[in-house]
Amino acid sequence: MPVFSWFLPDGRLLISYRPAIHAARQGAIEDDVRALTRTCTAILEDEIRRRPEFWMWMHNRWRTRPPGTERAQPAGAGPPRRGARMSRPAIFMDRDGTICEEVGYVNHLSRCRLLPRSLEAIRGVNRLGYLAVVATNQSGVARGLFTEDLVRAVHDQLRGWVESGGGRLDALYYCPHHPREGAPPYRIECECRKPRPGMLVRAAREHDIDLSRSWMIGDSLVDLEAGAAAGARVVHVLTGYGIGLRDNQPERFHVQPAHTATDLLAAVRFIAAQEGRAAALEGA
């Protein structure tokens, strides 16, 4: 007899349902499951409002199991077969204030300018074997300051600079939304706007990324919170808004970074040292 169970990320049982199949019509069981799903959805939405990191449950719901219920490895199963796809870690990077200068809204290609040592940092990410992924809020689209076409053009320009410098960006994600500014479809409570981790979760799904082995680097609080909510480790950089936040508003740090670095390259070097891979960056 099947049991339908929903678990919270910490392993607590949210709700469990065992339908009386012998005594109920199939339609009645389906109605019960739909009603339970609505109840669970309401509970989960409340958890998300109170704890943004709860979004990580959405990514891990099929990958993790409650404590004590780990699936045993079949006897004689051996190592993964040759050619089996393995999840890779990524280093997620904010764009403005981390890779590029923080200039406010980038409403023209000329306003996007690389920070010193960013190309060297991205080459370092590549050498370490991490996927190099950009995740950036671009609410200027919702505010009507520029279009998505411009965001894509800026990203094409950025990708070109990186490739010309001998590096590679594996993916670039942006959120064009804002919950209160502009008009639909851009004025929306979305999953992708940092501090929610929707962009990181989407990247993990599309590129088979292991978020638990990944890092998020950024200058703003929303970068740190999005990374932590996704289950990644986080590094704060003092470029962009970073130094002002550290010096003038330390009370706003609800997520404590693993490290505070002077810039993106220093952050990548810290990650390499943490992984015992510092030698991989020599000559990067």
**Strand (E) or helix (H) holding 35:** helix 26-50
Q: In what order do the strands lie in the sheet with 259-261?
A: 171-175, 131-137, 90-93, 215-218, 233-237, 259-261
Distances 129 to 50, 73, 215, 282 between C-alpha atoms, Å:
36, 28, 13, 14
- The reported pTM is 0.73
**Residue 111 phi/psi, 5° resolution?**
-85, -5
Rounded CA-CA distance 29/35 in Å is: 10
The pLDDT of residue 64: 39
Active site residues: 94, 96
- As a whole number of angstroms, the distance between CA 134 and CA 207 comes to 13
Residues whose CB falls within 8 Å of the CB of residue 135, separated by 6 or more in sequence, listed in order: 92, 93, 94, 95, 173, 174, 194, 199, 200, 203, 216, 226
Which residues, in sequence order, are bridge partners of residue 90?
131
Tell which residue, 60, 128, 131, has the closest CA to residue 93: 131
Distances (CA, A) of 158 to 80, 109, 146, 148: 38, 10, 17, 15
C-alpha to C-alpha distance for 35 and 37, rounded to whole angstroms: 5
Q: What angle do CA 175, 181, 187 make, to 5 degrees?
A: 55
Q: What is the pLDDT of residues 92-140, one digit of tens each?
A: 999 999 999 999 999 999 999 999 999 999 999 999 999 999 999 999 9
How do the pLDDT tens digits run along the chain, 284 residues long?
Answer: 444 555 554 444 555 444 544 444 455 555 665 666 666 666 666 555 555 555 544 444 434 333 333 333 333 334 444 544 569 999 999 999 999 999 999 999 999 999 999 999 999 999 999 999 999 999 999 999 999 999 999 999 999 999 999 999 999 999 999 999 999 999 999 999 999 999 999 999 999 999 999 999 999 999 999 999 999 999 999 999 999 999 999 999 999 999 999 999 999 999 999 999 998 887 65
The CA radius of gyration of the chain, in Å to the nearest whole number, is 22
Task: Report pLDDT for 282.
Answer: 78
Residue-level pLDDT at 97? 98
DSSP bridge partners of 206: none
**Are 131 and 167 spatial neighbours (Cβ–Cβ below 8 Å)?**
no
Q: What's the helix, strand, coil split of the chain in %, to 5? A: 40, 15, 45
Would you state the structure tokens that stand for residue 13, as one six-digit string?
A: 């049982």
